[in-house]
C-alpha cells in the first residue's frame, strides 16, 4: 500500500505543470525597466542600474550566468552616465558570455570610438 502512495505521488510530480527554478533570476528588473522607459529621470535610472547590479552579481538561476543582454545594457547605461571605461568593459563581457552578440556589440564599440 505504501508503494502505491509513492507511485501516485510520483506520477503527480512528474506530470504536474511544476514551476521549476528558472534559468535566470531577475529580481525587480522588469519593473525598473518599465519605470525607466516611462520616466528616464535620475531616480528611475538609479533604480535600473541597481537592478542590473543585482541580476549580474547575485544570479540565482540554474545557469549561474548573467542573462542575455544584461551586461551590454548595463554597459550602455554606464556610458550614458559618462563612465566610458567601465561601460566598454561590460559590453566586452557580453561578447565573452554570449559570442552571438559580437556582430551587434562590435558595432556599438565602433560607434563609441568615433
Where does this chain bind another protein (CB under 8 A)?
Answer: 4, 7-8, 11-12, 15-17, 19, 22-24, 26, 28-31, 33-38, 62-63, 67-70, 72-73, 76-77, 94, 98, 100-104, 107-108
Nearest to 111 by CA among 71, 74, 84: 84
Measured from the CB of residue 54, what is the shortest distance to another protein in angstroms?
14
How far apart are the two ends of the chain, measured CA to CA in Å?
A: 75
Measured from the CB of residue 35, what is the shortest distance to another protein in angstroms?
8
Burial of 91 (0-12, 13-18, 19+ CB in 10 A): buried
Measured from the CB of residue 11, what is the shortest distance to another protein in angstroms?
5
Amino acid at each position: 500500500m505504501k508503494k502505491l502512495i509513492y507511485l501516485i505521488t510520483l506520477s503527480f510530480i512528474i506530470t504536474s505543470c511544476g514551476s521549476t527554478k528558472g534559468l535566470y533570476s531577475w529580481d525587480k528588473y522588469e519593473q525598473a525597466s518599465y519605470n525607466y522607459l516611462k520616466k528616464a529621470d535620475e531616480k528611475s535610472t538609479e533604480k535600473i542600474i541597481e537592478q542590473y547590479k543585482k541580476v549580474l552579481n547575485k544570479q540565482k538561476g540554474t545557469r549561474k550566468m548573467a542573462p542575455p543582454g544584461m551586461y551590454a545594457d548595463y554597459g550602455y547605461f554606464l556610458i550614458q552616465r559618462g563612465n566610458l571605461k567601465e561601460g566598454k568593459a561590460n559590453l566586452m563581457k557580453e561578447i565573452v558570455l554570449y559570442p552571438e552578440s559580437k556582430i551587434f556589440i562590435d558595432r556599438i564599440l565602433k560607434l563609441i570610438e568615433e
